[in-house]
Structure 1
Amino acid sequence: MENWQTLYQEATALEKQNSLTAAEQKYQQALQLEPKQAEIWSDLGHLYYRMGRHQEAFSTLSQALEISRFTALHHYRLGMVFEQLQQTESAIQAYENTIKLDANLVEAYLALGRIFVTRSQFDAAISNYLIAHDRNPRDVKILSDLGQAYELQANESELRSDFYLGFSYYRQGNYAAAIAPYEKFLASLTPAIASEAIERVYRYLGDCLQHLNQSQRAAEIYQAAVKQYPQKPDFHINLIAALRNSGQTRTAIAAAATAAQLFPDMVLFERDRHLVLPILYESSTEISTYRQQFNQGLAQLIQYVQSRADVNSAESRAVFLKGLGSQTNFYLHYQGQNDLEQQVQFAQLLHQLMAAQYPELMQPLATKKPSVRQKIRVGYASACMWKQTVGVLFLGWLRHSDRQNFEIYSYHLHPHSDEHTENFRASSDVFRHLPVKEAIELDYIQAVGEQIRKDELDILVFLDVGMHPYMSLFSSLRLAPVQCVTWGHPVTTGSPTIDYFLSSELMEPEDGDKHYSEELVRLPNISIAYSPPDLSEATKTRADFGLREDAVLYLSCQTLFKYLPQYDYIFAAIAQQVPQAQFVFISHKSAAITEKFSQRLERAFAQYGLKSPDYCAILPRQGHNSYLSLNGIADVFLDTFSWSGGNTALEAIACHLPVVTCPGKMMRSRHSYAVLKQLGMTEAIAANEAEYIQIAARLGLDPKWRHQISQKIKAAHSRLYDDITCVKALENFYQKSFINKLF
């Protein structure tokens, strides 16, 4: 025979499954065996409340209270029933009894607030909502209710209404809706408003605008905040970032210089005043000017750090590591030049601080002998093990790995995960998700470094260094006997602890070794086993994008900072020969940067007597299937010069789209070139700018030749995709480097 405890457990389980009638029977059976259990009466009363049987709920909850009058939950549930029975005064009394017994039961305050709002007793409602907000400050429903109560109250409370409504929207992630109440709050300030409240609104309004990629408006908010709160360093940091993101580079540098004077011990501002670069350049002369300024600034920054940083002081090391390690030299690498010297100088500076901070993570590591472990243990670390370019490019190394001879460890260092992350997990023997923090945290670096060393890898491969700040810091440590980096970000790290740069024989120029501090490894072909994208949902038409049906559609879809101004004329030169040409670009996330690029195109086309809007369409940023659709409806893919398309070229080829490219001196300008060489398609590889224009124009004017190229690409797919030749060569390299470390 079942006991009452079992019946009670079965009843609660059935109620969770919404089997309410069956749950009622179990509760009643339990009460027949044990009629003095107040919890059963209370749960049965709540069940009747859920079923709309309010009189039965009242009777049952009253029975619970007769047994246990000092249980807050019973009073709260009775209050809910009184509300449904429209016995408002009794409901208020029940909720007040609840709070007397349990002052932390937030739901009772919310219930009282709800009742008082319906009775237009706004002061009482707000008082209860404020207590609830104090108990649970991040609850968006409480914030929303509080804001609405203020909104319904007299006009003198409008400011408080805007304040709480703004935070309610912000906590929900509804940044667009939060802007209006925040701006209204700031426009109606009185001396009675607390400074702390004003500061919070500036902070969150700026953040809303940044989330919405409205960098220019965000900069205006942060400028006002800096004026009012000059001693708050966060406002200066946000101002500099917003100015840079909106293309106001000179103003950003000036703001950094001002902040550096106010906070002379904050190396972050010293770094920004010397090393901030434009996202988009106006002219080739400007590139030279900023590069010279960067070189001089780097020397000054190194001198500043060496004269001020005390490597023997933990506090000093922390300040300088957080300041230097919070950013990378990302935009330097898009100037199209050899950055070896700058990378080495900065990496050495970082390495000195890291060695002092983490001496135990710098100690040499010995490779385990084969008798100790049968398999070579290879680790891959990245902040991009999700559906991001780096993750897409390099998954094949893991997916096609020889698991009989290699044991694969993966370290996913980004908070985001998706179905592609699961592919990395499935392709690993050990998968560790160790998400990075938003700000640099030295304890996090310590913990991750210790975990990787504890795993006793033979070889550690960083899929990318140079995009995410944490990756530069990790690459300064010695976490495995052999450490490598790939071309996920195709620039040398400059780090003395990275031994090899894993590259592609087709991408590297003859003198490629001169571009790296690491030993260059040229893997066969394009060096990756890349799977073609799924095109089944790439179904949009030209009309869906607002593009001309009769146009010769040239797709040029790189992120806008890849386009250097000295090559803008090429689009106009093609248009002069192909009157039906329409060039398709993709917007930058910052509207201000996109507008600057649009203005550059206008100037370039004007030099040819043409109007760029007649030929150029800059589309919003696209989801992946929409982007693939663009490849499907385009006629020609135009590669960029200084930094070639990698993943974009591979996707274009999957859509049989002719790709025009002109390889440069650096490996990062030769991705598309390598793809075409592996396909055996050299017809659209140009030797110079003039030939690039000629090939692009011919493809536009000669649809028969264009179709022939497209068909040849389609027939050659098997040479390019899922090529495991490079994986075998990679594993041969792993074995050789493993053996070299043994002896």
Structure 2
Amino acid sequence: MNKYLVEAQALARMGQFVEAGERCRKSISLGKDLVVAKRILAACLYDQGTMLATAGGLFDEAEQCFRQALAAKPDHVDALSNLGVILHTHKNRPDEAIVLYRKALALDPSSVRIAENLAKAEYQAGEFDACSATLLKLARRNPSEAAGYLIREALLVRKVVPDDAYPLQIRASIASKLDALESGDARMASPLRFPSTYFPLSYHGIGNKEMNSRLANIHLKAAPSLSWTAPFIANWKGPGTRIRLGLASAFFHAHSIGNTSRGLVERLDRSRFEVILVRLGASPRDAMADAIDASADRVVTVPADDLQAARETIASLELDLLFYQDIGMEPLGYLLSFARLAPVQCTSFGHPDTAGVPNLDYFISSDFYEVENAQDDYAERLVMIPGAGTLSYYHRPPAVKPGDRAAFGFGGEDRLYLCPQTLFKIQPVMDRIFGQILERDANARIVLIDPAREDLRPALERRLRGVLGDRMDRVSFIQSLAYLDYLRLVSCADVILDTIHFNGQNTNLEAFHLGVPVVTLPGRMQRERHTCGIYRAMGFMDLVADSVEDYVGLALRLANDTEFRGRCSERILRENAVLFENEAFVRQVETALGTMLGERLAEKSAGHRDGAA
């Protein structure tokens, strides 16, 4: 081996990969030891790319290093794999990643890690049949984690529903696969290795209590350690001078959960409560994150990749009550909720669906959100805050000057029907609503927000085009906007179209702040009734429809009858104060939390008496 390569190896050992690569290129330019030089060059470029990606988050630069490594050594398995990770995780290019992963697996068929990444990319690309096959192979290849792969395979649910029949069809498929898991003996040694939640199922307008409870029990059968109990629980005798309350989420930043949690962290009575913020993994740092942290008595961040360490960290706080701000939106919070980390554990509307987890005690809702016998939809005990239009102390959004329609590409004659929800909330019933509006209003423009991620927009466009045909040219997608620009867009709307089966919350509060009317059609479950509950709190029910036909009629009237729209806007502006910075809501939550603790103490006391008898 020539001197340049000897120097290259020495430099690489010191982490000087750029300099080492230069020595390799010198050897190649001289025609010396070409095979070895290319191998060492590929290794240097691979190590440089890995360092750029993991230490610096410099994914563009890392991509180039991995591509150069593959140019030097096309069969470099790790370079193929890591380039795939960059493309599907950080660049939203899963199709390209799939090609790389499959090439890497052809070279190293035994790699579980690469196969797991392939399954994730196939799901992201919408290749569900291929993803299913990959997951089933993984279950056979890695039996200690088989249950995790089989649960994921059972829950291969398309985020954008392709047609009306899909929600029932996919549930029948899931139920059959859960049957097999219940009767089998698949295990899951590391639940965080390849986790899944029920998240996409919550948007279909169908109750999930039975399915989510079955899913939870399958998790417990496959990984009994999930029900771990904090050591202090056995000797807990009730709160001390103050109730030690933990508020837990992975989304305490500029996010819908940050918006709805911030006020509670700030306003809880510190003479009664010690408020500990439990961050589930590191989250983005922004003004919202800083404000929430500054309002807490203490901030604790648990590791996102070590379930037992996360449990032990929370257990060490010896909380009286653990309040998950959301469950089901990400895996760590879901898996933590299986453990008994506090004497009382509850959740609320952050993700408004029952979790079905035995150790989750209460679900906090509003009587304005629930129908009679609503408890039937919850595995948790339902606690209803009376008269709450929103289950948060919600800070009023900033004031903005009215937007300029032309800045968003619209003319003065256009009537803007804005549906600003994330695209997977738009169920097939909305397609028909859009179609009727476009048919009956020649100047109508349906305006949607394009998040520019995953396969959401193309999947929705395919479905919409099948219903709307030529009218599709009056559906406009606006790229995600900076927050103040988004509020200006909302101010331009003639009417906001609330999504059926899963209403808006933050988006509708922002619209009401600006006096922009929202048409809604409530269903049975809480997530279908948020906007109706908000209107009830304002004492204004004129825009709550009782049928699809009524919904369309109200939307058309708002867009075309300026006097009617003006009256509705004035009423909303006059009544919306009840939705923002509502101190009474915080006091009601404090009472509810105290009642939960009282019930837990009574149960504990009764258990001791029964034991003594």
The verdict on a shared fold, with TM-score over 0.5 as the criterion, is: yes
Pick one of 138, 149, 160 that aligns with 1:269. Answer: 149
In the alignment, structure 1 segments of 5+ residues that lack a partner are 1-122, 137-141, 310-316
> How far apart in 2 are the matches of 1:247 and 1:326?
18
Evaluate the alpha carbon distance shift between residue 246 and residue 331 of structure 1 in structure 2; reply closer, same or farther with a 3 A threshold: same
* Corresponding position of 1:255: 134
How far apart in 1 are the matches of 2:315 and 2:319?
A: 12
Q: Which amino acid aligns with 2:86?
A: C
Tell me which residue corresponds to 1:704.
Answer: 563
Give the letter for the 1:600 counterpart: R
Q: Is the 8 A contact 2:80 2:101 kept in 1?
A: yes
What is the CA-CA distance between 1:626 and the residue it aligns to? Answer: 3.0
1:205 corresponds to which residue?
83
Matched, 1:515 2:377: yes
Q: Which residue of 2 aligns with 1:433?
A: 301
Structure 1 residue identity aligned to 2:78:
R
Equivalent position amino acid for 1:407 in 2: E
- Which residue does the alignment assign to 1:289? 169
Tell me the secondary structure at the aligned position of residue 645 of structure 1: coil
Q: CA-to-partner distance for each residue in 1:501-558, whole Å, 9 max, x for gaps?
A: 011221112221111011101113123211112245x886444433444321222121
Which of 333, 347, 351 is residue 485 of structure 1 equivalent to?
Answer: 347
Q: Measure how far apart 1:619 and its partner are.
A: 2.4
Q: Deviations over 1:347-399 (max 9, x none)?
A: 223345665466543785455457xx322222212212222111211222222
Deviation at 1:224, TM superposition (A): 2.5
What letter is aligned with 2:189?
A
Alignment counterpart, residue 382 of structure 1, candidates 249, 254, 264: 249
Instruction: Identify the residue that residue 608 of structure 2 maps to in structure 1.
Output: none
Cα distance, 1:256 vs. partner? 1.8
Return the alpha-carbon distance in structure 2 between the equivalents of residues 350 and 182 of structure 1: 38
* Secondary structure of residue in 1 paired with 2:248: strand
Tell me which residue corresponds to 1:475: 337
Partner Cα separation in structure 2 for residue 481 and residue 597 of structure 1:
44
Residue 688 of structure 1 deviates from its aligned partner by: 1.2
Structure 1's 651 and 509: CA in aligned 2 closer, same or farther, altered over 3 A? same
| Residue 589 (structure 2) aligned to one of 720, 724, 730 | 730
CA deviation after TM superposition for structure 1 residue 177, in Å:
5.0
State the number of aligned residues. Answer: 586
- The answer to whether structure 1 residue 318 and structure 2 residue 189 are counterparts is yes
Summarize the Cα distance change of 1:148–1:288 in structure 2 as closer, same or farther, 3 Å threshold: farther
User: With structure 2 as the length reference, what TM-score do the two structures score?
Assistant: 0.88
Separation of aligned partners in 2, 1:406 and 1:444? 26
Deviation at 1:426, TM superposition (A): 2.8
Summarize the Cα distance change of 1:367–1:160 in structure 2 as closer, same or farther, 3 Å threshold: closer
Runs of 4 or more, structure 1, over 6 Å off, are 123-126, 155-163
User: TM (normalized to structure 1)?
Assistant: 0.73
Aligned partners of 1:281 and 1:564 also within 8 Å: yes
CA distance in 1, matches of 2:245, 2:569: 39
- Residue identity in the other structure for 2:261: F
CA distance 1:160–1:355, change in 2 (3 Å): closer
Matched, 1:529 2:393: yes
Distance between the aligned counterparts of 2:598 and 2:165, measured in 1?
Answer: 50
Whole-Å separation in 1 of the counterparts to 2:467 and 2:364: 38
**Distance in 2, Cα, partners of 1:719 & 1:496:** 35
Asked if the contact 1:245–1:279 (Cα under 8 Å) also holds between the matched residues in 2, the reply is no
What's the offset of the Cα at 1:216? 2.2
1:143, 1:702 → 2: CA distance?
68
Query: What one-letter code is carried by the residue in structure 1 that aligns with 2:437?
Result: I
- Structure of greater relative contact order (alpha carbons < 8 Å, 6+ residues apart): 2
Q: What is the CA–CA distance in structure 1 between the aligned matches of 2:99 and 2:138, rounded to whole Å?
A: 16
Cα distance in structure 2, aligned partners of 1:721 and 1:442: 36
Identify the range of structure 1 (616-625 vs 479-488) with the bigger mean alpha-carbon deviation: 616-625
Distance 1:178-1:736 versus aligned 2 partners, 3 A rule: closer
**Structure 1 449/582 Cα, relative in aligned 2: closer, same or farther at 3 Å?**
same
Matches within 5 A, 1:291-370: 291-304=171-184, 307-309=185-187, 318-319=189-190, 321-322=191-192, 326-352=195-221, 356=225, 359-361=228-230, 364-365=233-234, 368=237
The alpha carbon displacement at 1:406 in A equals: 2.0
Partner secondary structure for residue 218 of structure 2: helix
Instruction: Assess, with a 3 A threshold, how the Cα gap between structure 1 residues 262 and 235 changes in structure 2: closer, same or farther.
Output: same
RMSD of aligned residue pairs (Cα, Å): 2.8
- Distance in 2, matches of 1:589 and 1:577, equals 30
Where do 1:583-602 residues align within 5 Å? 583-590=446-453, 592-602=455-465
> Which letter maps to 1:342?
M
Q: Distance in 2 between matches of 1:244 and 1:348?
A: 25
> Cα distance 1:170–1:541, how it changes in 2: closer, same or farther (>3 A)?
farther
The partner residue of 2:57 within 173, 195, 199 is: 173
Change (3 A) 1:546 1:173: farther
Partner of 1:560: 423
Question: 1:296 offset after TM fit, Å?
Answer: 0.9
Aligned to 2:610: none
Per-residue deviation at 1:292?
0.6
CA deviation digits over 1:656-688, x for unaligned, max 9? 211111111111111122222222232221111
CA contact (8 A) 2:11 2:20 kept: no
Closer, same or farther in 2 for the Cα pair 1:150/1:562, shift >3 Å? farther
Aligned to 1:637, the other structure's residue is in SS state: strand
Q: Which residue of 1 is the match for residue 476 of structure 2?
A: 617
Rg bigger for which structure? 1
Partner of 2:115: 236
1:215–1:246: 8 Å Cα contact kept in structure 2? yes
**Secondary structure, in 3 states, of the residue corresponding to 1:284?**
coil
Equivalent residues of 1:460, 1:483 under 8 A apart: yes
**Which among 593, 599, 603 is matched to residue 740 of structure 1?**
599
Match of 2:100 among 182, 207, 221: 221
Pair 1:375–1:178, CA change in 2 (3 A): closer
Deviation at 1:496, TM superposition (A): 1.4
- Quickly say closer, same or farther: Cα 1:623–1:223, change in 2 above 3 A: farther
Q: Distance in 2 between matches of 1:582 and 1:255?
A: 42
Opposite residue 273 of structure 1, the aligned amino acid is: E
* One-letter identity of the residue aligned with 2:320: D
Name the residue aligned to 1:88: none
Name the amino acid aligned to 1:557: P
Q: 1:423 and 2:291 equivalent?
A: yes
Distance change in 2, residues 1:465/1:359 (3 Å): closer
Which of 368, 371, 374 is matched with 1:506 structurally?
368
